[in-house]
Copies of this chain bind each other. A is one copy, B any other.
Amino acid sequence: MLAAIEAGGTKFVLAVGHASGAIAARHEIPTRTPEETLAEAASWIQSQGPVAAIGIAAFGPAQLDRNAADWGHILGTPKPGWTHCDIAGYFANRFEIPVGFDTDVNGAALGEYRLGAGRMTGGMAYITVGTGIGGGIIVNGEIVHGVSHPEMGHFYPRREASDRAFAGVCPYHGDCLEGLASGPAILARWGRNLSDLPDDHEAHGLVAGYLAQLCHTLFAFCAVECIVMGGGVMKTPGLLERVHASAQSLDNRYLPGGARHQIVSPKLGNDAGIVGALRLANASRNLSP
């Protein structure tokens, strides 16, 4: 049996299950202080019987470099008490088994790639459009890591000619993608969620166009075949179709492989992250401790 933890800012999802993605038991707990939350998570896992490895998909920023002294730690975060929390070390010490560790969105990307919408594709990106905009990329069958993890929400899409006034809500960049098309950006600008605005409201086209630039740029840079788009904002009826149409028109049939490009919804739904964490657990068994 493998254990999986999806460590979020408001709740921790816990599970035990198998590398196949099959979940044997599942449990959620609210996120409080690190001490309380990690102890409760550990007890629940322990109550499920012996496990061979633990996979953790955590909110970021997080230290993913296995050679760094602070591997497996949460880095500087506004969440009180969590900065420098050694989340991977806590479980490694307590259980003395291999621990896999990555970001929540990388975990979800891995889940969708191995067992969801990205199966059998030549590269996949998973994007979530919610409170923030972020994602993970799978290339050559592996999660993209570098000096850190991708932060895809913070590039600067080209503004529409009719839409240059809104300053955007990103505290770092103003009108980066997250500053223009995240849930809070939409709310700040138009006073409602995108699904609560009439079908012919300009917001639909603008948000779709900015998200389409993310997709087009991902196709151009990483040659991924499939982009999986989840998160609260993507629940807006028709949005996925608009993004797809707009990305195609940006490409103008230029990119090689473009006929195979897909923009789709997550197949694992809310389970992408926890299933990905099971895969992280499984993969950690082949890593040196």
Shortest Cβ distance from A69 into chain B, in angstroms?
15
> In A125-175, which residues have CB < 8 Å from any B CB?
137, 139-140, 142, 144-152, 154-159, 172-173
Contact (A216, B155) CB under 8 Å given A221-B222, A252-B173? yes
Partner of A218, one of B149, B221, B252, B256: B221
What's the minimum C-beta distance from A258 to chain B, rounded to whole angstroms? 8
Quick one: which of A102-137 are within 8 Å of B by CB? 122-123, 137
Question: A146–B218 Cα gap in the complex (Å)?
Answer: 11
How many chain A residues sit at the interface, stated as a range, is 35 or more
In the complex, how many angstroms separate the beta carbon of A217 from the nearest chain B beta carbon? 4
- How many chain copies? 2
Interface mask (A51-73 → B, CB under 8 Å = 1, otherwise 0): 00000000011000100000000
A199-251: which residues lie under 8 A (CB-CB) from chain B? 213, 216-218, 220-225, 250
Report if A146-B257 is in contact (Cβ < 8 Å); known contacts: A158-B156, A172-B252, A213-B156. yes
Cβ of A65: which chain B residues have Cβ within 8 Å of it? Answer: 122
A223 touches B144 (CB 8 A): yes
Is A79's CB within 8 Å of the partner chain B? Answer: no
For residue A255, CB closer than 8 A to chain B, the reply is: yes
Q: Kindly identify, within residues 231 to 283 of chain A, every residue whose CB is under 8 Å from any CB belonging to chain B.
A: 250, 252-257, 260-261
Asked if residues B158 and A157 are in contact (CB atoms below 8 Å), the reply is yes
CB-CB < 8 A to A159: which residues of B? 158
Q: Is A75 an interface residue (CB 8 A)?
A: yes
Smallest beta-carbon distance A103→chain B, Å: 10
Residues of B within 8 A of A146 (CB): 122-123, 139, 222-225, 257
Chain B residues closer than 8 Å to A122, beta-carbon distance: 65, 145-147
8 A-B pairs closest in CB distance: A146-B223, A147-B257, A123-B146, A148-B257, A148-B256, A172-B254, A147-B225, A155-B217
Instruction: State the A residues within 8 Å of B (CB).
Output: 60-61, 65, 75, 122-123, 137, 139-140, 142, 144-152, 154-159, 172-173, 213, 216-218, 220-225, 250, 252-257, 260-261
